[in-house]
Amino acid sequence: MNTIFQYDENFIYVIGGDLKITEDEEIPNGYTDVPPEEGLYKAKFDPKKKMWFESASKEYIESLQPKPQPSEMEIMQKEIAELYYLLAVGGEAS
């Protein structure tokens, strides 16, 4: 059994579209036996070169990255600023 990988009409990899075929079966249109490389965000197949490449824009990839968490120093600075504010307005810390 061989795994084949599905792509859509724009040659974009279809997640979950992989199939198993026997070695004597013909690969149907919209499929390839070339696996997409690991780490591609939006894999696109080039049938002439028989390879996958990244088609996602830099902006799209950056939008998927997690927002950086504040450092311990930034958290402490914020807490100190809040305490100064409470002291300035005469409030009590909870």
Dist CA 94 CA 80 (whole Å):
14
The residue length of the chain stands at: 94
94 belongs to a structural domain: no
- Residue 75 belongs to a domain: yes
- Does residue 10 form part of some domain? yes
Q: Which domain holds residue 35?
A: 2-89
Whether the model clears a pTM of 0.75, i.e. scores above it, the answer is: no
For 51-68, b where at least 16 C-beta lie within 10 A, e where not — what string?
Answer: ebeebbeeeeeeeeeeee
Q: 20-24, 38-42, 44-48, 61-65: which range is least confident on average? A: 61-65
**What is the per-residue pLDDT across 16-43, written as a single tens digit (0 to 9) for each?**
999 999 999 999 999 999 999 999 999 9
What pLDDT, on a 0 to 100 scale, did the predictor assign at position 11?
Answer: 98
| pLDDT at residue 58, as a whole number | 94
